[in-house]
């Protein structure tokens, strides 16, 4: 007798919030998400934060059935936390799945913009697979970032666009909505970047998989409380990986040029 696996029943949208030492930020951000998108569930993915964020997340989950917590045993980086969250969400039938930082940089009030864009079909009737909340498209903006950070972010996106031919202005953006099928299609098993280069890695895999990626403008707000986890190591990891993928891409045979094909498809949609 062959084993039959029941597909998970549809659960609606899930907003994933990765946390490491975000005790001051967590309750306000969860409340804002629940207010901005009341039908959506929340998954907090905590890497055993020393400041007790995981305990607070459990308290929030106990008070609200739409809030869930995934506890991990130690700090393994943003990418690893998201990959574990995607597995959790896909196993349970959540669709779509949204990424959102805990520090308030991604305004939950813009969730309807991202979720709405996921439903907007283009002229050919195709709806996007991935929506990126973008700082660098017209209408996008940054509040309270030092000039050095603006420069670093723009330079990082430009480098990724140039090296990888990405049709995306904000390749490192962390505010994103994915259709569940998009996550299934983009070969998560090949995404290995741990730091914020994870966002570029996901963009790159989405484009290589021929998925439709669109950007909507967001206002990105610098964190007001808590400490940034950004480090030189994270920047170097991202640069090293983008450089490696870019070089490999230039030496790839024409038949393997999935990126060029999907870039072309996107251009033809514009």
Tell me how far, at minimum, the Cβ of 110 lies from ligand GTP, in Å.
16
C-alpha pair distances (Å), 48 with each of 23, 30, 61:
12, 18, 16
Q: Contact, 241 vs 197, CB < 8 A? A: yes
Q: Which is nearer to ligand GTP, 81 or 242 (CB)?
A: 81
Q: Which is nearer to Mg ion, 51 or 58 (CB)?
A: 51
Tell me how far, at minimum, the Cβ of 44 lies from ligand GTP, in Å.
9
Kindly list the residues in this chain that would bind ligand GTP in the complex (CB under 6 A). Answer: 18-20, 22, 45-47, 75-78, 81, 101-103, 105, 196, 223, 228-230
DSSP H stretches of helix in the chain = 23-36, 53-63, 78-92, 111-119, 147-164, 180-185, 197-208, 232-250, 258-269
Q: Which is nearer to ligand GTP, 58 or 76 (CB)?
A: 76
Sequence-separated (6 or more) residues with CB below 8 Å from residue 140: 134, 170, 215, 217, 218, 219, 220
Q: Which is nearer to ligand GTP, 59 or 76 (CB)?
A: 76
Q: Which is nearer to ligand GTP, 13 or 45 (CB)?
A: 45
Tell me how far, at minimum, the Cβ of 195 lies from Mg ion, in Å.
12
Which one of Mg ion, ligand GTP, none interacts with residue 230, CB within 5 to 8 A by kind?
A: ligand GTP
Tell me how far, at minimum, the Cβ of 220 lies from ligand GTP, in Å.
8
Q: Which is nearer to ligand GTP, 102 or 216 (CB)?
A: 102
Measured over all CA atoms, what is the biggest interatomic distance in the chain, rounded to whole angstroms? 63
Tell me how far, at minimum, the Cβ of 25 lies from ligand GTP, in Å.
7
Which one of Mg ion, ligand GTP, none interacts with residue 20, CB within 5 to 8 A by kind?
A: ligand GTP
Bridge partners, 16 (sequence order): 43, 99
C-alpha pair distances (Å), 25 with each of 28, 33, 57, 143:
6, 12, 11, 18
Residue nearest to ligand GTP (CB): 228
Tell me how far, at minimum, the Cβ of 101 lies from ligand GTP, in Å.
4
**Cis amide leading into 96 (omega within 30):** yes
The whole-angstrom separation of Cα 84 and Cα 119 is 26
Q: Which of 18, 10, 19, 62 is nearest to 39 (CA)?
A: 10
Kindly list the residues in this chain that would bind Mg ion in the complex (CB under 5 A). Answer: 101, 103, 105, 223
């Amino acid at each position: 007798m062959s084993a039959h696996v029941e597909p998970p029943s549809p659960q609606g949208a899930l907003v994933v919030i990765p946390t490491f030492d975000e005790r001051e930020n967590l309750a306000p951000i969860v409340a804002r998400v629940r207010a901005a998108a009341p039908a959506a569930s929340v998954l907090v993915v905590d890497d055993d934060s020393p400041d007790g964020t995981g305990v607070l997340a459990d308290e929030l989950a106990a008070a609200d059935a739409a809030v869930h917590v995934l506890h991990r045993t130690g700090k393994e980086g943003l990418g690893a936390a998201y990959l574990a969250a995607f597995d959790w969400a896909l196993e349970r039938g959540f669709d779509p799945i949204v990424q959102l930082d805990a520090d308030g940089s991604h305004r939950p009030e813009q969730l309807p913009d991202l979720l709405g864009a996921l439903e907007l079909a283009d002229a050919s009737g195709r709806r996007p697979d991935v929506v990126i909340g973008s700082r660098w498209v017209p209408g996008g903006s940054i509040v309270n970032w030092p000039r050095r950070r603006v420069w670093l972010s723009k330079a990082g996106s430009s480098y990724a666009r140039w090296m990888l031919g990405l049709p995306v202005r904000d390749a490192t953006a962390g505010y994103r909505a994915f259709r569940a099928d998009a996550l299934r299609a983009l070969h998560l098993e090949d995404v290995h970047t741990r730091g914020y280069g994870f966002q570029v890695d996901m963009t790159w895999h989405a484009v290589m998989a021929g998925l439709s990626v669109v950007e909507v403008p967001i206002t990105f707000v610098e964190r007001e409380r808590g400490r940034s986890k950004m480090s030189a190591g994270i920047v170097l990891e991202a640069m090293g990986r983008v450089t490696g993928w870019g070089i490999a891409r230039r030496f790839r045979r024409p038949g393997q040029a999935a990126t060029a094909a999907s870039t072309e498809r996107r251009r033809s949609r514009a």
